[in-house]
Amino acid sequence: MEFAPLYPILYPILKRTFPNCIWSGSSERSAIALTFDDGPHPQHTPQLLQVLDRYQIKASFFWLGACVNAAPTIAREVYERGHWIGLHGYRHISFPSLKTDALKESLEKTQTAIFQACQLEPKHIRDVRPPNGLFTPQTLKLLHQWQYRPIMWSVVPEDWVSPGVEVVVRRVIQQVRNGSLIVLHDGYYGGEDVAQTTARLIPLLLQQGYEFVTIEELPSF
């Protein structure tokens, strides 16, 4: 069963219920953010970087610590190109299923992996996206207590089930608005199409007058 049709319905409800997360940018500006979860991946991520370079687009990557440790050279390449880096946990495990100490360790291990690969200090990696988009009020309380910033989404085309490039592109184009925060994946699930999908999406969105920004820039637009 695909849940893609439900996300546009859930998004405004969740945004109102949990306002202490970043769900999108301002609806007054045509800035949008492309974000990629579950990487870095040794094949999918370099292919994606070529597309982003071609259009001179800066994106935001939410990394799994285990994947950073498995592909540190790719991680450093992403960072050195000026893309924004956030946390997705050490492994792809839903945060509510982790006990407090395990959740804290997962985030800190990921920060350490990124520091070792990129020399990016942990204090500069404070954005966190929960795997599967799952969280509880307690999860958010802990993230804020530890001075992390929860980053969510407004456009989720469910590319991780590999419905096909054209399906993903169509879903994004139908849902995108000013301030949209778009979630795609460059990991093991969905990543095989991410470069092709992104290459199709960027010119279409540019033609519609959208400007691409990173997560760090999005709230200010």
Cβ atoms of 186 and 194 closer than 8 Å: yes
Is residue 88 annotated as a catalytic residue, yes or no? Answer: no
Spot the catalytic one: 37, 38, 127, 193.
Answer: 37
Longest Cα–Cα distance in the chain: 47
Spot the catalytic one: 41, 44, 88, 185.
Answer: 185
Using alpha carbons, select from 134, 137, 176, 140 the residue that is nearest to residue 156.
Answer: 176
Is residue 144 annotated as a catalytic residue, yes or no? Answer: no
Return the residue matching tokens 């969905």: 190
Return the structure tokens found at 57.
């687009």
Backbone angles phi, psi at 33, to 5 degrees: -120, 130
Dihedral of alpha carbons 106, 189, 158, 114, sign:
positive
Q: Catalytic residue numbers?
A: 37, 185
